[in-house]
Amino acid sequence: MSTKVYISGRLCPREEAKISVFDHGLLYGDGVFEGLRSYGGRVFRLEEHLRRLWDSARAISLEIPISIHDMASAVQQTLEANHIQDGYVRLIITRGAGPLGLDPNETADPQVIIIADHIQLYPREFYEKGLEIITASTIRNHPAALSPSIKSLNYLNNILAKLEGLQAGCVEALMLNFKGEVAECTGDNIFLVRGGELFTPPLDAGLLDGITRRAVIDLAREAGMVVHETTLAKDDVYAADECFLTGSAAEVVPVIKVDQCVIGDGRPGPLTRQLTSAFRELTRKP
């Protein structure tokens, strides 16, 4: 059965899901997107993802041509048309087609695209044994240049850091901000554990306000853990007892080595394991 993609208000076979080569989403990365997860046919934190999508669009003065309510139904419709219970949904809004200039006011017909797919980002082994990552030399975008809180179609900043990671044999890479502080990874937020407490960089360090990050902070607090959203240096990562990453696709994944430094005893730590299962329980709850 062919995959069905939602585009311009209708579901069509993937081969027919096409956009104009003049779309500024393609020409300039002018657009926004979201990555969501569905568990048992229900999208996890759909409202939060849609709010973030609308916020990203507003930040680049892009008007999404359908209502939040219609978007929510379209997501559900796309999942159902593809018979996906547990999967990944990519929501994309492009600026629309226009002449070969930058001016967004010259464009028309922004495209709303929804792709639902089966996806497993990391192999099981990474969850059991933990990831090794490196610190990229590519710094995270300066918030005054392109705010990392905007989930735009321009992901080159992250891709350059990801390439550095891959070059070093790592699937993720840590990114520092322009001040040299820890920001986030290329597609995941980062947490540390030290002395039984949790630490994660604050939003003003220049990072995506991750929905998994928020959920994990809530779960940790509910479990009685102390969570600090505070400025972190690379040395704090090296000295951590535990480290883990969060993201819609990755969920919660342990990190056991950063650059040359082994984290803790080189195995996923107890708080990481506790939060990994708490998150699994939360997402798979009926």
Residues that bind ligand PMP (CB under 6 A): 35, 158, 184, 187-189, 208, 210-213, 246-248
Nearest to 183 by CA among 245, 253, 275, 273: 245
Question: To the nearest whole angstrom, how small is the minimum distance from the Cβ of residue 190 to ligand PMP?
Answer: 9
Nearest to 190 by CA among 150, 136, 125: 136
Residues in the chain, total: 286
Asked if 133 and 255 count as a contact pair (C-beta separation under 8 A), the reply is yes
What is the 8-class DSSP label of residue 217? H
Task: Please say which residue, 24 or 140, places its beta carbon nearer to ligand PMP.
Answer: 140
Question: To the nearest whole angstrom, how small is the minimum distance from the Cβ of residue 99 to ligand PMP?
Answer: 30
Beta bridge partners of 228: 199
Task: Please say which residue, 214 or 267, places its beta carbon nearer to ligand PMP.
Answer: 214
Task: Please say which residue, 94 or 246, places its beta carbon nearer to ligand PMP.
Answer: 246
Catalytic-role residue among 151, 162, 179, 234: 151
Distances (CA, A) of 246 to 68, 87, 211, 272: 26, 17, 9, 11
Asked if 88 and 41 count as a contact pair (C-beta separation under 8 A), the reply is no
Question: To the nearest whole angstrom, how small is the minimum distance from the Cβ of residue 246 to ligand PMP?
Answer: 6
Catalytic (active site) residue 18: no
Task: Please say which residue, 17 or 175, places its beta carbon nearer to ligand PMP.
Answer: 175
- Residue in the block written with tokens 């604050």: 202
Question: To the nearest whole angstrom, how small is the minimum distance from the Cβ of residue 83 to ligand PMP?
Answer: 24
- Residues marked active site are found at 151
